[in-house]
Amino acid sequence: MLTIKLFGMVKMLAQQQKELSLDLPSGQTVKLLVEFLNAEYPDIGDLILKKKVLVSVNQEIAHPDTVINGEDEIALLPPFAGGA
């Protein structure tokens, strides 16, 4: 079971949930994760596919071929702006 942390507008699109738990076997790729999210949460999946939301694995921006293991920290990162 994978836990995915949500922030900002992504959290809003998931009915204010802070995390999603997905039954995705260990050793799968980010590409498969995105396909699963697109099927279960099409608004979130669409943002990822349009590169408006990034997938992070262990606090590093992930690519479609990045392998995900059960203990990895996964987050969906919406755009953000810095301060002055």
| 6-54 pLDDT per residue, tens | 999 999 999 999 999 888 888 999 999 999 999 999 999 999 999 999 9
Sorted by sequence, the CB contacts under 8 Å of residue 60 that are 6+ apart come out as: none
Cα 54 from Cα 60, distance rounded (Å): 10
Whole-model pTM?
0.87
Does residue 83 surpass a pLDDT of 70?
no
* More confident: 82 or 9: 9
Predicted local confidence at residue 81, as pLDDT: 56
Cα 25 from Cα 15, distance rounded (Å): 25
Homologous superfamily assigned to 2-77: Beta-grasp domain (3.10.20.30)
